[in-house]
Structure 1
Amino acid sequence: MPRTDPEGHGPVRYGPPLPADGLPVPPELSAVLAAAASRAEGEPVGGGPALRAAACGYWERRGLPTAPDRVVAAPGAPALLLALTAALGGDVLAPRPCTAWWTPYARLLGRPVYHVATPVECGGVPDPYALLETVRRVRAEGGDPRLLVLSVADDPTATVAPPEFLHETVEAAAGEGLHLVSDETWRDTLHDPQETVLLSPAEMLPGKVTVVTDLAGGLLPPGWPAAVARFPASAAGDGLRARVLDVLTALDACVAAPVAVAAGHVLGEPGPVTARRSAAARLHGRVAAAAHAAVVAGGALARPPRAGRHLYVDLGPLRAALGAQGVSDAQELEDFLTARLGMPAPGGHRFGDDLQALRVRLCTGPLLGASEEERAECLRSPDPLELPHVRRALIQLRSVFDDLRDAQRWEPPR
């Protein structure tokens, strides 16, 4: 009988972390944190004036004018989404697949989560017609959908939603009275910013969208948790922000004071910060493109990665070869590939996908080397794909998928 709940890996107790960049912390940023380490006073709930002002400048440079009284900071985006879900009430809608940490917080609050199919072009944003049908069905069954969470630069699919498609989905959500939370954690990790157009839903529907950005995406190390939220400039936005602050206060969810200083520094985007961010995005983009070529040549399917430090791979075409290895669902595929590749390969069921679908998220960080020195060398090298340790990692990846492809060819028809 197929498993529906993998043993030992419940939806709340286990979830893959954000794809880390694997690179050393820049010395300048370490110095900023160290200089603030002696601060004895704590950061207030929601963030102090300096941090919120820095967030306003960050969004202003992205075409989203923001006042400090529209901003809330927290120790990571999960705390913000938990508070937003509690404050808004009702049922939650999310694309399938979606970021791993979105749905556990709704479940912790006892809120139903309904996944909506995404289009062929991209992940992160529901198909507008599927969204309308899901809302209709949920309401017909007595549900109360109020919140749609989406991401234009997506984890796990590493795609960027085309603006015209995003507009259709945003209009459909607005027509149904849904509040949108736009997770923009990965917007600063575009592999080719000159060729990729990224628009925020908040530019299209200012009064109905709350923007959430976890700084672990492109600005801070994941071990320094900090995130910021931008609320709509409206009476409804005022009320929502106040309720979110109530929840964060009850949780005592404050950004650590030294981390708040570091967060304000990177949100200010001085030259060294933007240069390092751009270099890291280019590096991961090149490695992701090479990994994509390897898995596609091996017979798997994957959308070309456009942002982030990961790609989402569908091994459905290799099902027969995997079945001969005892792999029949995403949990078994996760175990199989993690062992074969020597790196984490979380299955699609971690991201709200069907357990029976043979999909995994692969990250580029582990392909950069085993030591801090090797990973730092990748950042300095004009051709990181030619570094011996990167070549070995990509050859290992390619060989695993090539072996499956060759086994698939010899698998007798069933």
Structure 2
Amino acid sequence: MQRTAAGSPPALTDPGLPAAPELAERFAQAWDAPPQPVGGDTAVRTAACGYWERRGHATEPDRVLLAPGPAPLLLALLAAVGGDLVVASPAAAWYSAQAHVLGRRVHLVATPAECGGVPDPVALLETVRRARDGGAQPRLLVVSVADDPTGTVAPPELLHEVCEAAAGAGMLVVSDETYRDALHDPHTVLLSPAESFPGHTVVLADLAGGLLPPAWPAAVARFPADDPAGGLLGPVRDVLDAQRGVPAAPVARAAALALAEPAALRERAAAAVRLHAAVAAAVHRVVIRLGALCLPPQAGFQLYPDFGPLRPALAGHGVTGPDALAERLPGAVAGPRFGDDPSALRIRITTSVLYGGTPAEREAALHAAEPLRVPHVAEALAALGTAFCELTAA
């Protein structure tokens, strides 16, 4: 277990922070670079090894694959494993989409009360039992240790219990660790399934979740040396090859630099986490003050409020479902997009839309010592609070 201090597709509402100058320069320099091989060249895979080794997960370059975003990797994993996908509800929208492309079933399992990103372990076993009794083949469980859409971090004991249940049921685990470095409190303990169940876990990280701008799609996967998960590397590479799932050369070169984490990029990442934490906490205070339910955000730039207690007031303003609620609020996506109950008044709020409407404004928010005092950020938060109040006024 290690202490770390620091998705759905960014197009869902994330404007992203501007690219770091160092990354933009590396991208421009590689404009005419040779095409990347399937899985990424040695430089980017070696950089990924360093990234994981600094987080306590030693690995070798030949156990790493680079792809143009996380979706091709998950699709290739599903194709290689066979069988169905199991995810928590709610979960990042792109998980289920890959199973649907392959004609596979998706088995949704409710999350526990204390966090999102992982299924309730008892409900997981019951879902798997019922699915197999009905002739289905659930074989791959995706967990999100620092979660999009809920912005929560799974407690280590709970995550261990979930992965133990999955391994006991003969399933493999994909650990989405995109936001593992975006923890709002550096004392939060984050457990990766690769620490306790290495032979059953493939680790996946979407670099556009923080290391690269959202417009530069790239993701890396780490495969263990041991089976059963270790044996998936070759088949996954073959599926990527069949898809021509290769990142653009400039993106791959920028990814190698980002994964190497030079000092300037580490400082910028710390500033981004400070901004995410401040704004997410401010939005959380607003929704709680109104009477909504919401777990405190712990990572990334999302939170997932439940406006169920405010249903009568919302109905008085013509809002009777999550889609109507999301349409009235900036940075919001309705819960059903993440596999949630369509009758529930739950939405994901992406707080990064409050950082500014232009790259210059977002850059100013990023470098502010006190982000909530930046005028355009304060104005955006005030406007969001006004929108909430207008929707819930009796």
Report the alpha carbon displacement of residue 72 of structure 1 after superposing the two structures with TM: 0.8
Aligned match for 1:35, one of 29, 34, 38: 29
Report the alpha carbon displacement of residue 28 of structure 1 after superposing the two structures with TM: 1.4
Quote the residue 1:8 is aligned against: none
- Give the conservation status (yes or no) of the 8 Å contact 2:356–2:362: yes
Separation in 2, partners of 1:199, 1:356: 33
1:209-236 deviations in Å (ceiling 9; x for gaps): 0001010111000111110001121243
SS of residue paired to 2:333? coil
Quote the residue 1:384 is aligned against: 371
After superposition, the Cα gap between the structure-2 partners of 1:272 and 1:157, relative to the gap in structure 1 and judged at 3 Å, is same
Report the alpha carbon displacement of residue 19 of structure 1 after superposing the two structures with TM: 5.9
TM-score with structure 1 setting the length = 0.91
Q: How does 1:235-384 map to 2 (within 5 A)?
A: 235-335=227-327, 337=328, 341=329, 343-384=330-371
Separation in 2, partners of 1:237, 1:368: 40
The one-letter code matched in structure 2 to 1:163 is P
Quote the residue 2:384 is aligned against: 397
SS of residue paired to 1:267? helix
After superposition, the Cα gap between the structure-2 partners of 1:304 and 1:56, relative to the gap in structure 1 and judged at 3 Å, is same
- Give the conservation status (yes or no) of the 8 Å contact 2:175–2:192: yes
SS of residue paired to 1:147? strand
Q: How does 1:66-145 map to 2 (within 5 A)?
A: 66-145=59-138
1:300-341 deviations in Å (ceiling 9; x for gaps): 111110101111111111111222222222222222x2xxx3
After superposition, the Cα gap between the structure-2 partners of 1:128 and 1:237, relative to the gap in structure 1 and judged at 3 Å, is closer
Separation in 2, partners of 1:96, 1:238: 27
After superposition, the Cα gap between the structure-2 partners of 1:368 and 1:42, relative to the gap in structure 1 and judged at 3 Å, is same
Quote the residue 1:7 is aligned against: none
Report the alpha carbon displacement of residue 17 of structure 1 after superposing the two structures with TM: 3.1
The one-letter code matched in structure 1 to 2:28 is A
Report the alpha carbon displacement of residue 238 of structure 1 after superposing the two structures with TM: 4.3
* Range that drifts further, 108-117 or 383-392: 383-392
Report the alpha carbon displacement of residue 344 of structure 1 after superposing the two structures with TM: 3.3
Separation in 1, partners of 2:241, 2:363: 39
1:175-232 deviations in Å (ceiling 9; x for gaps): 1010000111111111122x21111111010000000101011100011111000112
The one-letter code matched in structure 1 to 2:237 is L
Aligned match for 1:222, one of 214, 217, 222: 214
Q: Cα RMSD (Å) of the superposition?
A: 1.5
* Range that drifts further, 351-360 or 398-407: 398-407
1:86-126 deviations in Å (ceiling 9; x for gaps): 11111111000001110011011110001101111100011
1:17 aligns with 2:32: no
* Range that drifts further, 22-31 or 133-142: 22-31
Aligned match for 2:145, one of 147, 152, 159: 152
Quote the residue 2:46 is aligned against: 53
- Give the conservation status (yes or no) of the 8 Å contact 2:16–2:213: no
1:339-395 deviations in Å (ceiling 9; x for gaps): xx3x23110000010111111111111111222222211122222211221111111
After superposition, the Cα gap between the structure-2 partners of 1:32 and 1:224, relative to the gap in structure 1 and judged at 3 Å, is same
Report the alpha carbon displacement of residue 402 of structure 1 after superposing the two structures with TM: 2.3
Separation in 2, partners of 1:28, 1:334: 36
Quote the residue 2:185 is aligned against: 192
The one-letter code matched in structure 2 to 1:162 is P
1:234 aligns with 2:226: yes
Quote the residue 1:6 is aligned against: none
The answer for unaligned runs of 5 or more in structure 2 is: 1-7
- Give the conservation status (yes or no) of the 8 Å contact 1:189–1:217: no
1:40-76 deviations in Å (ceiling 9; x for gaps): x210011111111111111111111111111111000
SS of residue paired to 1:221? coil
Separation in 1, partners of 2:317, 2:288: 20
The one-letter code matched in structure 1 to 2:221 is A
1:406 aligns with 2:393: yes
Q: How does 1:153-168 map to 2 (within 5 A)?
A: 153-168=146-161
**May I ask how many residue pairs the two structures share in their alignment?**
387
The one-letter code matched in structure 2 to 1:321 is A
Report the alpha carbon displacement of residue 21 of structure 1 after superposing the two structures with TM: 6.1
Separation in 2, partners of 1:144, 1:98: 20
Separation in 2, partners of 1:297, 1:46: 48
Quote the residue 2:4 is aligned against: none
- Give the conservation status (yes or no) of the 8 Å contact 1:190–1:306: yes
Quote the residue 1:11 is aligned against: none
The one-letter code matched in structure 2 to 1:266 is A
- Give the conservation status (yes or no) of the 8 Å contact 2:200–2:227: no
SS of residue paired to 1:282? helix
The one-letter code matched in structure 2 to 1:150 is V
Separation in 1, partners of 2:313, 2:393: 8
Quote the residue 2:173 is aligned against: 180
- Give the conservation status (yes or no) of the 8 Å contact 1:298–1:404: no
SS of residue paired to 2:220? strand
The one-letter code matched in structure 2 to 1:173 is A
Separation in 2, partners of 1:229, 1:263: 13
Quote the residue 2:3 is aligned against: none
